[in-house]
Structure 1
Amino acid sequence: MNKLFNSFMLAFCLMFMCPLYSQINKAIYSVSINNKEDIDKTSPYNSYYKIAQENSNQFTFHLIFSKDSSDFFINDNLEMEYHSFKMVKAFSRYQGFVRKTKSKTFIEKEIDNKTYILEEKTEYNWTLTTETKKIGSYNCYKATAEKTIKNKIIVPITAWYCPEIAYQFGPNGYGNLPGLIVELQIDNVIYGLKSINFDDNTIKFKEIDFEKIISQDKYDEIIKEKMKFILDE
Protein backbone atom coordinates (compact mmCIF):
# COMPACT_ATOMS: atom_id res chain seq x y z
CA MET A 1 0.00 0.00 0.00
CA ASN A 2 2.80 2.42 0.91
CA LYS A 3 4.56 1.79 -2.41
CA LEU A 4 1.35 2.44 -4.31
CA PHE A 5 0.71 5.64 -2.35
CA ASN A 6 4.29 6.85 -2.89
CA SER A 7 4.04 6.19 -6.62
CA PHE A 8 0.77 8.10 -6.76
CA MET A 9 2.23 11.08 -4.91
CA LEU A 10 5.30 11.15 -7.17
CA ALA A 11 3.15 11.18 -10.29
CA PHE A 12 0.93 13.86 -8.75
CA CYS A 13 3.89 16.12 -7.95
CA LEU A 14 5.51 15.68 -11.34
CA MET A 15 2.25 16.55 -13.07
CA PHE A 16 2.23 19.97 -11.42
CA MET A 17 5.98 20.60 -11.35
CA CYS A 18 6.70 19.98 -15.05
CA PRO A 19 4.75 23.01 -16.34
CA LEU A 20 6.64 25.20 -13.87
CA TYR A 21 10.03 24.15 -15.23
CA SER A 22 9.02 24.17 -18.89
CA GLN A 23 7.05 27.41 -18.94
CA ILE A 24 8.15 30.28 -21.16
CA ASN A 25 8.00 33.85 -19.87
CA LYS A 26 8.38 37.29 -21.44
CA ALA A 27 9.83 40.48 -19.96
CA ILE A 28 9.80 43.83 -21.75
CA TYR A 29 12.52 46.42 -21.11
CA SER A 30 12.89 50.08 -22.01
CA VAL A 31 16.25 51.78 -22.55
CA SER A 32 17.52 55.23 -21.65
CA ILE A 33 20.78 56.75 -22.87
CA ASN A 34 22.23 59.26 -20.44
CA ASN A 35 24.68 62.08 -21.12
CA LYS A 36 28.39 61.34 -21.37
CA GLU A 37 30.87 63.92 -20.16
CA ASP A 38 33.67 62.82 -22.49
CA ILE A 39 31.79 63.51 -25.75
CA ASP A 40 33.27 66.21 -27.97
CA LYS A 41 30.35 68.61 -28.40
CA THR A 42 31.71 69.79 -31.78
CA SER A 43 32.04 66.35 -33.39
CA PRO A 44 29.43 64.64 -35.64
CA TYR A 45 29.48 61.85 -33.05
CA ASN A 46 27.69 64.17 -30.63
CA SER A 47 24.81 64.84 -33.06
CA TYR A 48 24.36 61.09 -33.64
CA TYR A 49 24.36 60.58 -29.89
CA LYS A 50 21.63 63.21 -29.49
CA ILE A 51 19.47 61.41 -32.07
CA ALA A 52 19.85 58.17 -30.10
CA GLN A 53 18.94 59.88 -26.82
CA GLU A 54 15.88 61.60 -28.26
CA ASN A 55 14.49 58.43 -29.86
CA SER A 56 15.43 55.71 -27.36
CA ASN A 57 12.07 55.98 -25.55
CA GLN A 58 10.31 54.74 -28.69
CA PHE A 59 11.91 51.31 -28.47
CA THR A 60 11.42 48.26 -26.31
CA PHE A 61 13.49 45.10 -25.90
CA HIS A 62 12.10 41.62 -25.28
CA LEU A 63 13.54 38.94 -23.04
CA ILE A 64 12.02 35.50 -23.62
CA PHE A 65 13.15 33.15 -20.88
CA SER A 66 12.60 29.78 -19.25
CA LYS A 67 14.41 27.91 -16.51
CA ASP A 68 17.35 27.01 -18.78
CA SER A 69 17.74 29.68 -21.48
CA SER A 70 16.75 33.10 -22.77
CA ASP A 71 16.44 35.11 -25.98
CA PHE A 72 16.99 38.89 -25.97
CA PHE A 73 16.21 41.12 -28.96
CA ILE A 74 15.03 44.58 -29.94
CA ASN A 75 11.38 45.04 -30.87
CA ASP A 76 11.68 46.69 -34.29
CA ASN A 77 9.74 49.94 -34.51
CA LEU A 78 8.61 50.00 -38.13
CA GLU A 79 7.34 53.57 -37.80
CA MET A 80 10.78 54.85 -36.79
CA GLU A 81 12.96 56.55 -39.39
CA TYR A 82 15.75 54.11 -40.34
CA HIS A 83 18.65 56.44 -39.48
CA SER A 84 17.26 57.07 -35.98
CA PHE A 85 16.73 53.33 -35.53
CA LYS A 86 20.39 52.68 -36.37
CA MET A 87 21.54 55.35 -33.92
CA VAL A 88 19.51 53.86 -31.05
CA LYS A 89 20.90 50.39 -31.76
CA ALA A 90 24.45 51.74 -31.96
CA PHE A 91 24.42 53.80 -28.77
CA SER A 92 22.27 51.57 -26.55
CA ARG A 93 25.10 49.02 -26.40
CA TYR A 94 22.73 46.51 -27.96
CA GLN A 95 24.73 43.48 -29.11
CA GLY A 96 22.09 42.04 -31.42
CA PHE A 97 19.94 38.96 -30.86
CA VAL A 98 21.35 37.01 -27.88
CA ARG A 99 20.63 33.40 -26.93
CA LYS A 100 21.90 32.65 -23.44
CA THR A 101 22.03 29.45 -21.45
CA LYS A 102 23.43 29.10 -17.95
CA SER A 103 26.88 28.25 -19.35
CA LYS A 104 27.06 29.79 -22.85
CA THR A 105 26.14 32.94 -24.74
CA PHE A 106 25.44 33.08 -28.49
CA ILE A 107 25.17 36.40 -30.36
CA GLU A 108 23.76 36.73 -33.86
CA LYS A 109 25.91 38.86 -36.17
CA GLU A 110 25.27 39.87 -39.77
CA ILE A 111 28.07 40.63 -42.23
CA ASP A 112 27.33 41.26 -45.93
CA ASN A 113 23.83 39.82 -45.51
CA LYS A 114 25.27 36.61 -44.05
CA THR A 115 24.28 35.57 -40.55
CA TYR A 116 26.84 34.14 -38.13
CA ILE A 117 26.40 32.90 -34.58
CA LEU A 118 29.22 34.10 -32.37
CA GLU A 119 29.86 32.03 -29.26
CA GLU A 120 30.91 34.46 -26.54
CA LYS A 121 32.99 33.05 -23.72
CA THR A 122 32.97 36.18 -21.58
CA GLU A 123 31.77 35.59 -18.04
CA TYR A 124 31.38 38.44 -15.61
CA ASN A 125 32.80 38.21 -12.11
CA TRP A 126 29.89 39.73 -10.27
CA THR A 127 30.40 41.33 -6.89
CA LEU A 128 27.21 40.83 -4.89
CA THR A 129 26.37 43.53 -2.34
CA THR A 130 23.83 43.90 0.43
CA GLU A 131 22.58 47.19 -1.05
CA THR A 132 18.89 47.05 -1.93
CA LYS A 133 16.48 49.14 -3.97
CA LYS A 134 12.75 48.95 -4.58
CA ILE A 135 12.06 48.99 -8.32
CA GLY A 136 8.33 49.02 -8.92
CA SER A 137 7.00 46.26 -6.70
CA TYR A 138 10.26 44.31 -6.72
CA ASN A 139 12.85 44.19 -3.94
CA CYS A 140 16.18 44.19 -5.76
CA TYR A 141 19.81 43.67 -4.81
CA LYS A 142 22.83 45.34 -6.37
CA ALA A 143 25.63 43.51 -8.16
CA THR A 144 28.58 45.09 -9.97
CA ALA A 145 31.09 43.97 -12.58
CA GLU A 146 33.39 45.36 -15.26
CA LYS A 147 33.75 44.69 -18.96
CA THR A 148 36.98 45.35 -20.84
CA ILE A 149 36.52 46.10 -24.52
CA LYS A 150 39.19 45.73 -27.17
CA ASN A 151 40.79 49.13 -26.84
CA LYS A 152 41.39 48.37 -23.15
CA ILE A 153 38.58 50.67 -21.97
CA ILE A 154 36.91 49.37 -18.81
CA VAL A 155 33.11 49.69 -18.80
CA PRO A 156 31.34 49.56 -15.41
CA ILE A 157 28.28 47.29 -15.10
CA THR A 158 25.60 47.59 -12.41
CA ALA A 159 22.74 45.09 -12.14
CA TRP A 160 19.75 45.16 -9.84
CA TYR A 161 18.37 41.63 -9.61
CA CYS A 162 15.29 40.25 -7.89
CA PRO A 163 15.64 36.93 -6.01
CA GLU A 164 11.83 36.65 -5.95
CA ILE A 165 11.99 36.05 -9.72
CA ALA A 166 14.28 33.03 -9.62
CA TYR A 167 15.59 33.09 -13.20
CA GLN A 168 19.28 33.79 -13.91
CA PHE A 169 18.83 35.98 -16.99
CA GLY A 170 18.63 39.64 -17.98
CA PRO A 171 19.01 42.15 -20.82
CA ASN A 172 21.71 42.03 -23.49
CA GLY A 173 23.14 38.64 -22.50
CA TYR A 174 23.87 39.52 -18.88
CA GLY A 175 22.83 37.15 -16.14
CA ASN A 176 24.07 34.35 -13.88
CA LEU A 177 22.80 36.19 -10.81
CA PRO A 178 20.47 34.82 -8.10
CA GLY A 179 17.41 36.33 -9.78
CA LEU A 180 16.14 38.09 -12.89
CA ILE A 181 17.87 41.41 -13.68
CA VAL A 182 15.23 44.11 -13.29
CA GLU A 183 17.55 47.02 -14.08
CA LEU A 184 20.88 46.94 -15.88
CA GLN A 185 23.27 49.85 -16.30
CA ILE A 186 26.15 49.53 -18.79
CA ASP A 187 28.21 52.69 -18.40
CA ASN A 188 25.68 55.42 -19.29
CA VAL A 189 22.95 53.14 -20.72
CA ILE A 190 20.14 51.82 -18.53
CA TYR A 191 17.76 48.97 -19.34
CA GLY A 192 14.69 48.93 -17.11
CA LEU A 193 11.93 46.34 -16.74
CA LYS A 194 8.55 47.64 -17.96
CA SER A 195 6.40 44.51 -17.67
CA ILE A 196 6.64 40.76 -17.23
CA ASN A 197 4.29 37.96 -18.24
CA PHE A 198 4.74 34.47 -16.84
CA ASP A 199 3.84 31.24 -18.64
CA ASP A 200 2.89 32.84 -21.96
CA ASN A 201 1.88 30.09 -24.37
CA THR A 202 1.75 32.54 -27.28
CA ILE A 203 5.55 32.89 -27.45
CA LYS A 204 8.40 30.55 -28.30
CA PHE A 205 12.15 30.56 -28.62
CA LYS A 206 13.73 31.40 -31.94
CA GLU A 207 15.11 28.52 -33.98
CA ILE A 208 18.87 28.92 -34.35
CA ASP A 209 21.08 27.30 -36.99
CA PHE A 210 23.94 26.22 -34.74
CA GLU A 211 25.91 25.11 -37.80
CA LYS A 212 26.68 28.82 -38.29
CA ILE A 213 28.52 29.10 -34.97
CA ILE A 214 31.97 30.69 -35.22
CA SER A 215 34.58 31.57 -32.62
CA GLN A 216 35.56 35.10 -31.60
CA ASP A 217 38.88 34.66 -33.42
CA LYS A 218 37.10 33.62 -36.63
CA TYR A 219 34.70 36.53 -36.34
CA ASP A 220 37.61 38.96 -35.87
CA GLU A 221 39.28 37.45 -38.94
CA ILE A 222 36.13 38.01 -41.04
CA ILE A 223 35.90 41.62 -39.88
CA LYS A 224 39.59 42.18 -40.61
CA GLU A 225 39.22 40.80 -44.15
CA LYS A 226 36.12 42.92 -44.68
CA MET A 227 37.95 46.10 -43.61
CA LYS A 228 40.91 45.20 -45.79
CA PHE A 229 38.61 44.77 -48.78
CA ILE A 230 37.00 48.18 -48.15
CA LEU A 231 40.38 49.92 -47.81
CA ASP A 232 41.69 48.27 -50.99
CA GLU A 233 38.78 49.46 -53.08
Structure 2
Amino acid sequence: MTVKVTFLLLFSLLLCPVWSQTYTIGYKMYSKNIHGDLDEMSKEFLTNPIDKNSEPDLQLVYCNGVSLCGPISESKEVDDNKNSNENKISTIRVMHSVFYQNQEENLYMQDYGDFFIPFGETENPVISGELERYDWKITEKEMIISGYHCTLATTVDSNGEKIVAWYTDEIPIIHGVNGFFGLPGLILQLQVETRILYVMTSIQQENKQTSLEKPTGNMMSQEEFTQYTKELTKPRTTITPDGRERRVRIIPNN
Protein backbone atom coordinates (compact mmCIF):
# COMPACT_ATOMS: atom_id res chain seq x y z
CA MET A 1 0.00 0.00 0.00
CA THR A 2 2.79 2.40 0.94
CA VAL A 3 4.64 1.67 -2.32
CA LYS A 4 1.50 2.31 -4.37
CA VAL A 5 0.76 5.63 -2.65
CA THR A 6 4.37 6.76 -3.04
CA PHE A 7 4.27 5.92 -6.76
CA LEU A 8 1.02 7.82 -7.32
CA LEU A 9 2.39 10.84 -5.46
CA LEU A 10 5.57 10.81 -7.52
CA PHE A 11 3.58 10.43 -10.73
CA SER A 12 1.40 13.43 -9.79
CA LEU A 13 4.43 15.57 -9.04
CA LEU A 14 5.96 14.70 -12.41
CA LEU A 15 2.80 15.68 -14.26
CA CYS A 16 2.18 18.91 -12.37
CA PRO A 17 4.70 21.04 -14.31
CA VAL A 18 3.20 19.80 -17.59
CA TRP A 19 -0.30 20.82 -16.52
CA SER A 20 0.97 24.24 -15.48
CA GLN A 21 2.98 25.12 -18.55
CA THR A 22 2.33 28.40 -20.33
CA TYR A 23 3.42 28.95 -23.93
CA THR A 24 3.85 32.40 -25.46
CA ILE A 25 4.30 32.43 -29.25
CA GLY A 26 4.95 35.40 -31.51
CA TYR A 27 3.83 35.62 -35.15
CA LYS A 28 4.44 38.01 -38.02
CA MET A 29 1.45 38.71 -40.25
CA TYR A 30 1.63 39.53 -43.96
CA SER A 31 -1.23 40.74 -46.16
CA LYS A 32 -1.50 40.57 -49.94
CA ASN A 33 -2.89 44.11 -50.01
CA ILE A 34 0.24 45.42 -48.33
CA HIS A 35 3.08 42.97 -48.99
CA GLY A 36 2.27 41.54 -52.43
CA ASP A 37 2.86 37.93 -53.53
CA LEU A 38 2.44 35.80 -50.41
CA ASP A 39 3.10 32.51 -52.20
CA GLU A 40 6.66 33.59 -52.91
CA MET A 41 7.07 34.93 -49.39
CA SER A 42 5.85 31.64 -47.94
CA LYS A 43 8.39 29.63 -49.94
CA GLU A 44 11.15 31.98 -48.83
CA PHE A 45 10.26 31.67 -45.14
CA LEU A 46 10.14 27.87 -45.35
CA THR A 47 13.76 27.67 -46.43
CA ASN A 48 15.02 30.86 -44.75
CA PRO A 49 13.19 31.33 -41.42
CA ILE A 50 12.29 34.85 -40.42
CA ASP A 51 14.69 36.70 -38.12
CA LYS A 52 13.79 35.71 -34.54
CA ASN A 53 14.76 39.20 -33.38
CA SER A 54 12.06 40.83 -35.50
CA GLU A 55 9.12 42.33 -33.63
CA PRO A 56 6.03 40.07 -33.90
CA ASP A 57 2.63 41.44 -34.90
CA LEU A 58 0.57 38.87 -32.98
CA GLN A 59 0.99 36.95 -29.74
CA LEU A 60 -0.56 33.59 -28.82
CA VAL A 61 -0.70 32.63 -25.12
CA TYR A 62 -1.72 29.06 -24.30
CA CYS A 63 -2.27 27.29 -20.95
CA ASN A 64 -4.24 24.14 -20.09
CA GLY A 65 -6.40 24.03 -23.19
CA VAL A 66 -7.21 27.74 -23.19
CA SER A 67 -5.62 30.20 -25.61
CA LEU A 68 -5.72 33.91 -26.32
CA CYS A 69 -4.31 35.34 -29.54
CA GLY A 70 -4.26 38.99 -30.50
CA PRO A 71 -2.28 41.91 -31.92
CA ILE A 72 0.67 43.34 -30.03
CA SER A 73 -0.01 46.83 -31.38
CA GLU A 74 -3.29 48.63 -32.08
CA SER A 75 -5.07 48.65 -35.44
CA LYS A 76 -3.42 50.98 -37.90
CA GLU A 77 -3.86 52.56 -41.31
CA VAL A 78 -1.47 51.72 -44.14
CA ASP A 79 -1.01 53.69 -47.37
CA ASP A 80 -2.58 52.02 -50.41
CA ASN A 81 -0.09 53.18 -53.05
CA LYS A 82 -1.95 51.58 -55.95
CA ASN A 83 -4.98 53.83 -55.50
CA SER A 84 -3.26 57.01 -54.30
CA ASN A 85 -2.17 60.03 -56.31
CA GLU A 86 -1.40 63.71 -55.79
CA ASN A 87 -5.05 64.62 -55.24
CA LYS A 88 -6.27 61.52 -53.43
CA ILE A 89 -4.86 59.52 -50.54
CA SER A 90 -6.06 55.92 -50.30
CA THR A 91 -5.44 53.94 -47.12
CA ILE A 92 -6.29 50.54 -45.72
CA ARG A 93 -7.22 50.13 -42.08
CA VAL A 94 -6.56 46.60 -40.83
CA MET A 95 -9.21 45.43 -38.39
CA HIS A 96 -7.43 43.38 -35.72
CA SER A 97 -9.22 41.26 -33.14
CA VAL A 98 -8.47 39.01 -30.17
CA PHE A 99 -9.28 35.29 -30.40
CA TYR A 100 -10.22 33.33 -27.26
CA GLN A 101 -10.56 29.52 -27.31
CA ASN A 102 -11.47 27.10 -24.54
CA GLN A 103 -11.31 23.40 -25.39
CA GLU A 104 -13.05 22.16 -22.23
CA GLU A 105 -16.02 24.47 -22.77
CA ASN A 106 -15.92 24.08 -26.58
CA LEU A 107 -16.04 27.87 -26.70
CA TYR A 108 -14.76 30.33 -29.28
CA MET A 109 -14.86 34.12 -28.89
CA GLN A 110 -13.57 36.94 -31.09
CA ASP A 111 -13.24 40.41 -29.57
CA TYR A 112 -12.84 43.55 -31.72
CA GLY A 113 -12.07 45.80 -28.77
CA ASP A 114 -12.85 49.50 -29.26
CA PHE A 115 -12.36 49.42 -33.05
CA PHE A 116 -15.98 50.43 -33.71
CA ILE A 117 -16.17 53.15 -31.05
CA PRO A 118 -15.34 55.90 -33.63
CA PHE A 119 -18.43 54.75 -35.57
CA GLY A 120 -20.73 55.59 -32.66
CA GLU A 121 -20.72 52.25 -30.82
CA THR A 122 -20.61 52.30 -27.02
CA GLU A 123 -19.73 48.63 -26.44
CA ASN A 124 -17.29 46.44 -28.35
CA PRO A 125 -18.79 43.56 -30.36
CA VAL A 126 -17.73 40.03 -29.36
CA ILE A 127 -18.50 37.01 -31.54
CA SER A 128 -19.30 33.94 -29.43
CA GLY A 129 -19.94 30.35 -30.50
CA GLU A 130 -18.64 26.79 -30.57
CA LEU A 131 -15.10 25.99 -31.66
CA GLU A 132 -14.86 25.54 -35.42
CA ARG A 133 -13.81 21.98 -36.26
CA TYR A 134 -11.52 22.02 -39.27
CA ASP A 135 -11.36 18.95 -41.49
CA TRP A 136 -7.57 18.88 -41.78
CA LYS A 137 -5.89 16.74 -44.42
CA ILE A 138 -2.43 15.83 -43.14
CA THR A 139 0.00 15.23 -45.99
CA GLU A 140 3.30 13.37 -46.21
CA LYS A 141 5.25 16.57 -46.90
CA GLU A 142 7.73 17.33 -44.14
CA MET A 143 10.31 20.06 -43.53
CA ILE A 144 12.51 21.49 -40.80
CA ILE A 145 11.30 25.01 -39.95
CA SER A 146 13.12 27.10 -37.35
CA GLY A 147 14.67 23.91 -35.99
CA TYR A 148 11.36 22.03 -35.63
CA HIS A 149 10.28 18.99 -37.63
CA CYS A 150 7.06 20.12 -39.37
CA THR A 151 4.31 18.50 -41.43
CA LEU A 152 2.09 20.11 -44.07
CA ALA A 153 -1.69 20.04 -43.61
CA THR A 154 -4.52 21.66 -45.57
CA THR A 155 -8.21 22.38 -45.05
CA VAL A 156 -11.02 24.65 -46.25
CA ASP A 157 -12.63 27.12 -43.85
CA SER A 158 -16.30 28.09 -43.55
CA ASN A 159 -15.79 30.77 -46.23
CA GLY A 160 -14.55 28.21 -48.74
CA GLU A 161 -10.97 29.47 -48.59
CA LYS A 162 -8.05 27.04 -48.71
CA ILE A 163 -5.86 26.98 -45.60
CA VAL A 164 -2.28 25.69 -45.79
CA ALA A 165 -0.51 25.06 -42.49
CA TRP A 166 2.85 23.74 -41.31
CA TYR A 167 2.71 22.31 -37.78
CA THR A 168 5.10 20.54 -35.42
CA ASP A 169 4.18 17.80 -32.94
CA GLU A 170 7.36 18.64 -31.02
CA ILE A 171 5.34 21.37 -29.27
CA PRO A 172 2.24 19.77 -27.64
CA ILE A 173 -0.31 22.48 -28.44
CA ILE A 174 -3.20 21.81 -30.81
CA HIS A 175 -3.82 25.55 -31.21
CA GLY A 176 -2.42 28.07 -33.67
CA VAL A 177 -2.63 31.67 -34.71
CA ASN A 178 -5.96 33.56 -34.80
CA GLY A 179 -8.38 30.75 -34.02
CA PHE A 180 -6.91 28.04 -36.23
CA PHE A 181 -6.49 24.80 -34.30
CA GLY A 182 -7.07 21.05 -34.31
CA LEU A 183 -3.77 19.74 -35.66
CA PRO A 184 -1.65 17.44 -33.45
CA GLY A 185 0.86 20.17 -32.68
CA LEU A 186 1.57 23.90 -32.85
CA ILE A 187 1.07 25.70 -36.18
CA LEU A 188 4.29 27.51 -37.12
CA GLN A 189 3.23 28.88 -40.50
CA LEU A 190 -0.26 29.32 -41.96
CA GLN A 191 -1.59 30.84 -45.18
CA VAL A 192 -5.20 31.76 -46.00
CA GLU A 193 -5.52 31.52 -49.81
CA THR A 194 -3.29 34.30 -51.17
CA ARG A 195 -4.66 36.89 -48.70
CA ILE A 196 -2.95 36.39 -45.36
CA LEU A 197 0.27 34.71 -44.21
CA TYR A 198 1.29 34.06 -40.59
CA VAL A 199 4.85 33.07 -39.66
CA MET A 200 6.06 32.16 -36.16
CA THR A 201 8.94 34.30 -34.92
CA SER A 202 9.42 33.22 -31.31
CA ILE A 203 8.28 30.78 -28.64
CA GLN A 204 8.68 30.87 -24.86
CA GLN A 205 7.74 28.10 -22.43
CA GLU A 206 7.30 28.65 -18.68
CA ASN A 207 6.33 26.28 -15.87
CA LYS A 208 3.53 28.41 -14.48
CA GLN A 209 -0.25 28.69 -14.47
CA THR A 210 -1.69 31.59 -16.49
CA SER A 211 -5.33 32.61 -16.21
CA LEU A 212 -6.72 33.76 -19.57
CA GLU A 213 -9.92 35.76 -19.11
CA LYS A 214 -12.89 35.61 -21.49
CA PRO A 215 -13.64 38.76 -23.51
CA THR A 216 -16.63 40.86 -22.47
CA GLY A 217 -18.83 43.13 -24.56
CA ASN A 218 -21.79 43.05 -26.94
CA MET A 219 -22.14 39.28 -27.54
CA MET A 220 -23.39 38.18 -30.96
CA SER A 221 -23.24 35.21 -33.32
CA GLN A 222 -21.13 35.16 -36.46
CA GLU A 223 -24.24 35.77 -38.56
CA GLU A 224 -25.23 38.76 -36.44
CA PHE A 225 -21.72 40.20 -36.67
CA THR A 226 -21.68 39.83 -40.46
CA GLN A 227 -24.86 41.88 -40.70
CA TYR A 228 -23.51 44.35 -38.14
CA THR A 229 -20.40 45.11 -40.18
CA LYS A 230 -22.06 45.10 -43.60
CA GLU A 231 -22.41 48.86 -43.70
CA LEU A 232 -19.50 49.81 -41.44
CA THR A 233 -16.84 48.12 -43.60
CA LYS A 234 -17.80 49.75 -46.89
CA PRO A 235 -15.14 52.05 -48.39
CA ARG A 236 -15.63 55.62 -47.19
CA THR A 237 -14.25 59.01 -48.23
CA THR A 238 -13.09 61.82 -45.96
CA ILE A 239 -11.28 65.12 -46.57
CA THR A 240 -7.81 65.78 -45.10
CA PRO A 241 -6.99 69.13 -43.40
CA ASP A 242 -5.19 70.27 -46.55
CA GLY A 243 -8.28 69.64 -48.69
CA ARG A 244 -7.33 66.35 -50.33
CA GLU A 245 -9.77 63.49 -50.69
CA ARG A 246 -8.99 60.50 -48.52
CA ARG A 247 -10.52 57.09 -49.25
CA VAL A 248 -10.32 54.50 -46.47
CA ARG A 249 -11.05 50.79 -46.63
CA ILE A 250 -11.45 48.59 -43.55
CA ILE A 251 -10.37 44.97 -43.92
CA PRO A 252 -10.36 42.17 -41.33
CA ASN A 253 -7.06 40.49 -40.49
CA ASN A 254 -8.15 36.97 -41.47
Question: TM above 0.5, one fold?
Answer: yes
Aligned to 1:182: 188
Question: Match of 1:105?
Answer: 108
User: Residue 89 of structure 1: which of 88, 94, 104 is its match?
Assistant: 94
Query: Greater share of helix residues, 1 or 2?
Result: 1
In 1, the alpha carbon distance for the partners of 2:59 and 2:137 equals: 26
Query: C-alpha distance in 2, partners of 1:74/1:166?
Result: 23
Q: Provide the secondary structure at the position in 1 that maps to 2:27.
A: strand
Shift of 1:114: 1.2
Match of 1:133 in 2: 143
| CA distance, structure 2, for counterparts of residue 59 and residue 197 of structure 1 | 13
1:169 aligns with 2:192: no
Unaligned runs of 5+ residues in structure 1 are: 38-56
* Aligned mate of 1:118, from 127, 140, 145: 127
> Is this contact kept in 2: 1:71–1:205, CA < 8 A?
no
Any conservation in 2 of the 1:67–1:167 contact (CA below 8 Å)? Answer: no
Task: Write the distance in 2 (CA, Å) between the matches of 1:136 and 1:8.
Answer: 41
**Distance of 2:56 and 2:203 partners within structure 1:** 16
1:32-51 aligned within 5 A = 32-34=30-32, 35=36
Give yes or no for contact 2:20–2:64 (8 Å, CA) kept in 1.
yes
Q: Which residue of 2 aligns with 1:144?
A: 154
Give yes or no for the alignment of 1:74 onto 2:81. Answer: no
3-state SS, counterpart of residue 28 of structure 1: strand
2:85 paired residue number: none
SS in 2 for 1:178: coil
Residues 59, 76 of structure 1: 8 Å contact kept:
no
> Which is further off, 96-105 or 208-217?
208-217
CA distance in 1, matches of 2:4, 2:56: 52
**Alignment RMSD (CA, Å):** 3.1
Q: Which residue in 1 is equivalent to 2:46?
A: none
Deviations 1:106-148 (A, max 9, x none): 1113542412321244332111111111101001001101124
Report how far residue 30 of structure 1 moved: 1.1
Distance 1:88 1:67, change over 3 A: farther
On the 8 A contact 1:64/1:205 being kept in 2, the answer is no
8 Å Cα contact 1:32-1:190 kept in structure 2 = yes
CA distance in 2 between partners of 1:58 and 1:27 (Å):
12
- Structure 1 residues 88 and 116 mapped into 2: Cα distance closer, same or farther (>3 Å)? closer
Q: CA deviation at 1:88?
A: 6.7
What SS does structure 2 have at the residue aligned with 1:114?
coil
Deviations 1:148-175 (A, max 9, x none): 43xxxx3211010101111101001001
Q: CA shift at 1:62, angstroms? A: 0.3
**Distance in 1 of aligned mates of 2:140 and 2:171:** 17
How far the C-alpha of 1:33 sits from its partner, in A, is 2.9
- How many residue pairs were aligned? 195
Counting aligned pairs with the same residue, the percent is: 21
Letter paired with 2:204: N
| 1:114/1:193 CA distance change after superposition, 3 Å | same
Structure 1 residue 61 and structure 2 residue 58: aligned? yes
User: Relative to structure 2, which stretch is displaced further, 157-166 or 120-129?
Assistant: 120-129
Q: Using the TM superposition, give the Cα deviation of residue 219 of structure 1 relative to its aligned residue in structure 2, in angstroms.
A: 2.8
Q: Is contact 2:56–2:201 with CA below 8 Å preserved after alignment?
A: no
**SS of alignment partner, residue 84 of structure 1:** strand
> Could you list the per-position Cα deviations for residues 1-49 of structure 1 after superposition, in whole angstroms to 9, with x for gaps in the alignment?
xx11111111122122122112211011112234269xxxxxxxxxxxx
Please tell me whether the aligned partners of residues 26 and 200 of structure 1 are also in contact (alpha carbons under 8 angstroms). no
> Retained in 2: the 8 A contact 1:158–1:186?
yes
Cα-to-partner distance string for 1:81-127 (whole Å, 9 max, x where unaligned) = x423994734xxx5x10011233321113542412321244332111
TM score, norm. by length of structure 1: 0.71
